């Protein structure tokens, strides 16, 4: 009996690192190229609820007076009809503040009032949404986004990032830790730098780590730089729930030849996130109150997980822009009613 118990314990130990149930795999390239995607059905199923889009409200007619001529202080979406505008506002309640309702952004006694910071931010986010849907089709194609893509019924999107302090406990004998060995979910709890977003999704540092010239002449690419890149790639992989070979041909990770189209889509996605962080989110630093900022005083910013949340396409590819064409640009400057 003792031998059986020991064998059972040993077997349990050996299997503790295995996943359950058996994995599913999808061949995405020619056999022998390593272009294989491996999925755990249990994990995929667990993500379904969070990546199911809500049923859209019935479409509203475009005829009738414009919202900017009926309501006061309408600076965005004023080009819509009153019916379309009301539909978007009602949808935003369920997308962003289902518990708080309209008063999350509006003063119930005066909807035109701009004293709440949430209203100022929401207005800017509507502009951002229209920009994504109209100017970043290289990444979102015709699928598009709505507020729900990021918020999922939460006032604050669950997947955002702030600048991190690379040395929260000061210096040590190792010098600049560069955020390493401080496990963070952003890099799948690895020892990689835990803020790969500041250099690549805010700044425009070089992601490619293959040096263009032989060492040492003019080649500043290093293993240390590569670790930041690996941190970003790890984030991409877990944000989309895919292997590295979803975008790369394992024959040559640096080369573009033989890569699937997803790599180009991801290339544009990185630049889209960078543009949104710099053009829309960072400029709101003076609008957000202190309790909504990170430890270094910066505002929440977007990365790949903000939209994807574990799905290779946000909301598993639900065509949000088709259901809400009002959130596709162009932006129209309007004059508010007096």
Annotated binding site for heme: 89, 102, 105-106, 125, 139, 147, 150-151, 233, 244, 247-248, 304, 307-308
How buried is 18 (Cβ within 10 angstroms: 0-12 exposed, 13-18 middle, 19+ buried)?
exposed
Distance CA 80, CA 90 (A): 14
Q: In terms of Cα–Cα distance, which of 310, 311, 336, 305 is closest to 197?
A: 305
Contact 288, 280 (CB under 8 A): no
Helix pair angle (262-276, 117-135), 10° resolution: 150
Distance CA 140, CA 229 (A): 23
Distance CA 11, CA 29 (A): 36
Residues annotated within the binding site are: 89, 102, 105-106, 125, 139, 147, 150-151, 233, 244, 247-248, 304, 307-308
Residue 53: asked if its preceding bond is cis (omega within 30°), the reply is no
Provide DSSP, 114-146: --SHHHHHHHHHHHHHHHHHHH-HHHHTTT---
DSSP state letter for 39: E
Q: In terms of Cα–Cα distance, which of 150, 318, 307 is closest to 241?
A: 307
Return the number of other C-beta atoms located less than 10 Å from residue 331's C-beta: 13
Distance CA 35, CA 37 (A): 7
């Amino acid at each position: 009996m003792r031998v059986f118990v020991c064998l059972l314990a040993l077997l349990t130990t050996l299997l503790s690192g295995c996943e359950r149930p058996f994995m599913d795999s999808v061949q995405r390239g020619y056999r022998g190229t390593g272009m294989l995607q491996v999925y755990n059905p249990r994990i995929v199923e667990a993500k379904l609820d969070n990546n199911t889009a809500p049923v859209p409200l019935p479409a509203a007619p475009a005829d009738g007076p414009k919202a900017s001529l009926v309501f006061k202080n309408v600076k965005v979406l004023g080009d819509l009809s009153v019916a379309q505008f009301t539909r978007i506002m009602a949808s935003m309640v369920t997308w962003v503040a289902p518990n708080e309702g309209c008063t999350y952004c509006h003063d119930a006694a005066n909807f035109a009032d701009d004293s709440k910071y949430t209203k100022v931010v929401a207005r800017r986010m509507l502009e951002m949404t229209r920009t994504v849907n109209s100017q970043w089709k290289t990444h979102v194609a015709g699928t598009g986004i709505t507020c729900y893509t990021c918020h999922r019924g939460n006032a604050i999107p669950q997947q955002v990032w702030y600048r991190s302090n690379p040395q929260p406990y000061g210096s040590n004998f190792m010098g600049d830790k560069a955020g390493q060995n401080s496990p963070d979910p952003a890099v799948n709890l690895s020892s990689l730098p835990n803020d790969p977003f500041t250099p690549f999704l805010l700044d425009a540092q070089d992601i490619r780590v293959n040096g263009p010239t032989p060492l040492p002449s003019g080649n500043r690419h290093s293993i240390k730089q590569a670790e930041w890149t690996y941190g970003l790639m790890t984030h991409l992989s877990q944000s989309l729930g895919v292997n590295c070979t979803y975008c790369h041909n394992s024959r040559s990770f640096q080369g573009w030849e033989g890569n699937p189209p997803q790599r180009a889509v991801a290339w544009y996605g990185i630049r889209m996130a960078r543009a949104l962080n710099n053009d829309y989110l960072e400029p709101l630093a003076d609008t957000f109150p202190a309790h909504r900022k990170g430890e270094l005083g910066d505002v929440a910013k977007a990365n790949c997980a903000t939209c994807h949340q574990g799905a290779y396409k946000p909301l598993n590819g639900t065509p949000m822009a088709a259901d809400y064409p009002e959130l596709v640009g162009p932006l129209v400057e309007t004059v508010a009613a007096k």
